[in-house]
């Protein structure tokens, strides 16, 4: 990963992001199309109305090949929300997820947030382990039926 960059998301990344989320989560978690629809809505909202002073999305790219995404959006005046964190399977296990997470957290802290929040699914063990290793705290677990599956949603917070 010598030529890896984290660049700002661009409108032309939209189709790739939606397709990758839809495909990867259908294959790994059995998610139905409602997950891709949610990703599309989140992304469309971000592209249409995000405040670049306080919100940012990044694409991890190596030699022009997209490998993942991570977004920092405003939840409220004091709290940033981590969203759309994705790594393609071939890019996992190489430290890229940690680099992306730390980059996003640094942006949030430097832009005046006093903490961050995210939600994920308990079945995403590698992501949950990454969050916990960086000091994120799981503050809530809740069983839900989402995306055609019975899941356990976990909410994590991180104070600065």
CATH code at 31?
Answer: 3.40.630.30
Give the pLDDT of residue 126.
94
* pLDDT score for 117: 98
Q: How many other C-beta atoms are found inside a 10 Å radius of the C-beta of residue 46?
A: 18
Is 62 inside a domain boundary?
Answer: yes
Q: Is residue 1 scored above 80 in pLDDT?
A: no
Q: Give the model's pLDDT for residue 91.
A: 96
Indicate whether 98 belongs to any domain: yes
47-59 pLDDT tens trace: 999 999 999 999 9
How many separate domains does the chain show?
1
CA distances from 97 to 45, 76, 140, 150 (A): 24, 25, 23, 26
Q: What is the pLDDT of residue 143?
A: 98
SS3 state at 29? helix
CA separation for the pair 160, 111 (Å, rounded): 11
Where in the sequence is the domain holding 28, given as residue range(s)? 4-113
Asked whether residue 94 is domain-assigned, the answer is: yes
In a domain, 52, yes or no: yes
Residue 130 lies in a domain: no
Does the pLDDT of residue 68 top 90, yes or no?
yes
């Amino acid at each position: 990963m010598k030529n890896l960059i984290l660049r700002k998301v661009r409108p032309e990344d939209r189709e790739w992001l939606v397709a990758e989320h839809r495909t990867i989560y259908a294959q790994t978690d059995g998610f139905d199309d409602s997950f891709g629809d949610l990703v599309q809505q989140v992304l469309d909202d971000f592209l249409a109305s995000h405040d670049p002073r306080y919100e940012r999305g990044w694409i991890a790219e190596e030699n022009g090949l997209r490998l993942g995404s991570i977004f920092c959006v405003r939840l409220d005046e004091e709290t940033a929300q981590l969203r759309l964190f994705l790594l393609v399977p071939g890019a996992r296990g190489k430290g890229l997820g940690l680099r992306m997470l730390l980059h996003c957290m640094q942006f949030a802290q430097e832009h005046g947030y006093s903490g961050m929040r995210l939600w994920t699914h308990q079945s995403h063990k590698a992501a949950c382990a990454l969050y916990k290793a960086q000091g994120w705290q799981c503050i809530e677990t809740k069983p839900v039926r989402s995306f055609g599956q019975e899941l356990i949603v976990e909410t994590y917070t991180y104070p600065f």
